[in-house]
Amino acid sequence: MEFDLPKLAPSILAADFTILGEQIHACETGGAQWIHCDIMDGHFVPNISYGADIVAAAHRAAPNLFCDVHLMIEQPDHYIESFADAGADLITVHQEACPHLHRTIHLIRDHGCMAGVAINPATPVSLIEPVLNDLDLVLVMSVNPGFGGQSFIESTLDKLEQLRRLREESGNSWLLEVDGGVSEETIEQVVQAGADILVAGSSVFRSKAISERVQKLQEMASRASETA
Q: At 153, phi and psi to the nearest 5?
A: -95, 110
What are the angstrom distances between the C-alpha of 222 and each of 177, 187, 196? 15, 10, 10
Q: Is 179 near Zn ion (CB under 5 A)?
A: yes
| Burial (Cβ within 10 Å: 0-12, 13-18, ≥19) of residue 209 | exposed
Q: Is 76 near ligand DX5 (CB under 6 A)?
A: no
Minimum distance from residue 199 beta carbon to Zn ion (Å): 5
Q: Is 14 near ligand DX5 (CB under 6 A)?
A: yes
Active site residue 53: no
What are the angstrom distances between the C-alpha of 138 and each of 18, 73, 114, 178? 32, 17, 11, 9
Q: Is 146 near ligand DX5 (CB under 6 A)?
A: yes
Given the residues 41, 68, 136, 179, select the one marked as catalytic.
179
Q: Which of the choices Zn ion, ligand DX5, none does residue 31 contact, using the CB cut-off of 5 to 8 A by kind?
A: none
Binding part of the chain for ligand DX5, among 6-14, 58-66, 155-163, 168-176 by CB under 6 A, reads 6-14
Active site residue 134: no
Q: Is 70 near Zn ion (CB under 5 A)?
A: yes
Closest CA to 54 of 44, 67, 72, 73: 67
Q: How many residues bind ligand DX5 (CB under 6 A)?
A: 21
By annotation, the residues acting in catalysis are 38, 179
